[in-house]
Amino acid sequence: MPTPSHPHAHTTLVPSPSPHQPRPRATPAPSSPSASAPPPPDPRVPFSPQSILKLLVSGSGGSRTGGLIPIPQYPLYSAAIAELSAVQLNYYLDEERCWALDVAELRRALAEGRQRCCPRVLCVINPGNPTGQVQSRQCIEDVIKFAFEEKLFLMADEVYQDNVYAEGSAFHSFKKVLFEMGPPYSEVVELASFHSISKGFMGECGFRSGYVEVVNMDPEVQQQLAKLVSVRLCPPVPGQIVLDAVVDPPQPGDPSYELFITGRMTILPPTEKLQVLLEKLSSFYAKFVKEYS
C-alpha cells in the first residue's frame, strides 16, 4: 500500500494496466521563454513499468543504459530491457541465505557493468518472485545507501507485499524506509514503487490493474512521463474501481467495513487474523467511547 507522503518529497501515484508489463535524467522538451510554468503532471494517467525504463534508457555503445536485475527474476525485466536495447546486468541472490540480497554482489555487478555500459537503474523485487524471499529492513537500508552512493534510480517491485507468511518475516516498503532514513537519502534517492491488485488477499487477477508511485522525480521529468503514458490505454473501469478500494479500503464506520474485515479474516494467515481482530477491537472501543463519553 502507498505510505503517507513525506513533506519534502515529490510523489506521484499512477495507475497501471498491469503491474508486470514491461536515466541520465530524461531531457524535458524545450519550451518558449515566455511560456508559463507547466501544470503538475496528472497523477491518474495510464501507466506501465516499461515507461519508467523508457525514461532511463539512452546512449549507445559504452554509454548505453544498463539495468541491474536480480537472478532469479520475473522475466518481465529481462524482456523489457531487451526490447529497449538496454544492457542487462545480473546480480545473483544468495540461495544459501534464503535468496537474500547482498550489497557486495551489487557492487560486483555494477563494477562489471561499467566496463561495457552506463548503469542507471537498480531493480529490486521484494517480496521476491519467483524466490519468495522477504528482505530485511537492514538490507533495504543498505540498498538505498548503495543507490544513493552510485546515483542509481531504484525500481522497487513490491506487488507481493501482502503475501508474507513466514514466521519472523515482515514487509518493509522502500518508500517508508527511505523516508525514515531522513536526509540526504529521503531528499535525493529517486524511487519508483509498484503494487498490484492481482496479488495478496484481494487477488482480483482478472482486473489487471496496479499502480506505480514515483518519489523524488524531477517535476519536469514527471511531465515527460505524463506525455509518455498518456498514449497508452487505461485499465478497464472495474479494475480502476478495485484499485481505488485497495489504496483506500473501508474504514471503521463505513457500511462495508464489517464485510471487508470478515473477508480478510477468511483469507489471511493466523498472525494476520490476530491483527485484524485487534483492529476490530480498536474500532469497537473507539465507537464505544464516542457513544458513551
pLDDT score at 94: 94
3-state helix, strand, coil in the chain (%, to 5): 40, 15, 45
pLDDT winner (highest mean) among 12-21, 24-33, 177-186, 283-292 = 177-186
Q: What size, in residues, is the chain?
A: 293
- Average pLDDT, rounded, for the chain: 80
Beta pairing partners, 219 = none
Model confidence band, residue 140 (pLDDT cutoffs 50, 70, 90): very high
pLDDT (average), residues 228-256:
83
End-to-end Cα, the chain, rounded Å: 34
What number of CA atoms fall less than 13 Å from residue 147's CA on the CB side?
Answer: 29
C-beta separation of 43 from 215 below 8 A: no
What's the CATH number for 11-26+39-236? 3.40.640.10
In 10 A of CB 75, how many CB atoms?
Answer: 12
C-beta separation of 246 from 238 below 8 A: no
- Provide, rounded to the nearest whole percent, the portion of the chain with pLDDT above 90: 43
pLDDT-wise least confident of 90-94, 110-114, 236-240? 236-240
Q: Where are the domains of the chain?
A: 11-26+39-236, 257-292
pLDDT score at 208: 76
Residue 224 has pLDDT above 80, yes or no: yes
Model confidence band, residue 152 (pLDDT cutoffs 50, 70, 90): very high
Coil, helix or strand at residue 156 = strand
User: Which cell goes with 61?
Assistant: 555503445
Model confidence band, residue 106 (pLDDT cutoffs 50, 70, 90): very high
